[in-house]
A and B are shown apart, each in its own frame.
Chain A
Amino acid sequence: MTNNNINSEPIEILLVEDNPGDAELTVEAFKEAKVNNNIYIVEDGKEAIAFLNKEGKYNLSVTPDIILLDLNLPKMGGLEVLSIIKEDDNLKHIPVVVLTTSSSDQDILKSYKLHANCYITKPVKLDNFIEAIQKLDSFWLSFVKLPVGIKI
């Protein structure tokens, strides 16, 4: 496994999650993963789009390397956010990991139809959750080659 991100530039992660408890668990899990990362947390779909488009208070935000997206979000649902990202030429290259409580077949199918890069149901057990985040980290952020130099 190539682990070329250690000691190099940090990985920029956008976490779209309305539940602060869940957000913190995710942050904790990433800490365990020992990856040099920056996690930005936004609480709803509209904020997520504003962040990605560097609108308003997000005018100084970075373009994330990966987006972790919950589906049940206030104002604008996760699926809508996903479709906006995947239809936007400037954003669609960013891998989107749907990380959600729902294990509904419909949600899974809809997410993939909207070009989600992967779909993960959050496990109840903390160990399993940490393991999932670590696998996510090792696959998407270490193993897979992500596009570089397209940051706007």
Chain B
Amino acid sequence: MLELGGIVEAVGEMISSVMGSLGFGSGMITLMQLLTAALAVISFAAVLTLFLVWMERKVSARFQMRVGPYRVGWQGTIQTVADAVKLLQKEDITPVNVDRAIYFWAPVVTFVAAVAVYVTMPFGEGLIVRDLNIGILYIIAITTFTVIGLLMAGWSSNNKYSLLGGFRSAAQVVSYEVPLAIAILGVVMLTETLSMLEIVHQQSKFYQWHVWRQPLGFIVFWIAGTAEVNRTPFDLPEADSELVAGFVTEYSGMKFAMFFLAEFVNMFTLSAVATTLYFGGWNGPLLPSWAWFMIKAMAGVFVLMWFRWTYPRLRVDQLMGFAWKFLLPLAFLNLILTGLGIHFF
């Protein structure tokens, strides 16, 4: 079948042979291969976002008995391309009273944190940039940089709505990270490894999917993850009806686009991590591995969109209580049950 792993390998070999014949050292060749991989990941993120924005608009339209984007391209498929071009042409406004350096770096930090996660993401057989033996821990660690970016944006904008958005995001992400990590710990206890590749290999059959053995863990993971990527019902950091646009209020043009990109990439990341940890990753019959991965991940993204257009937003005072008094005990219960299960079976 159409496996992309071979192509990736061929490109890597081509780089090494071409650069080798030009007389570059092995260090430079590795660097070049890594740069190519980074470029591929960033392009993937950009194209993915274009698609996800279109999907979000179409899904939301259907939920509201509308048609959604329709005019530009077939079923409005090129609508987001047109919007992106428009965004690129916008003037890059820096308000007078912002803290310039931090205002500039905030979208960069957010975007890099969002994309850097894909280093250890197994998109398909052979489609992984680098299989780290701390894979899932790396992903949890890197995503924490997102909070720093949001806080930087909120503080540097010198705007009360931005600041409130930054506050909320920091409190929310730090709180929900705890049940998220403990829910993931349940899977790690079962697999006895942190490597994403190894976790996928252990779920090659349908009945081996970890979601069957970790249903409670998956529910906690999914709820905490939804909060972690600031999606409704947990989108308080950018609650439009209260905070204008939260931490992105003062941003425009490309900088705004980078926040936007990071948000959609993070949404896909959550879904991709869920696919890898709980739904067997790329494993599936007939279709090539990357297609299975994308199908499963896109199904997860659809569920996130479903949440967004169905549930009302949580109140800010309920938010913390929900994380610490409800999700965290559930996550610990899952941990204890997993431990007992491993001990007795």
**Real complex partners, A and B?**
no
A interface residues with partner B (beta carbon < 8 Å)? none
B interface residues with partner A (beta carbon < 8 Å)? none
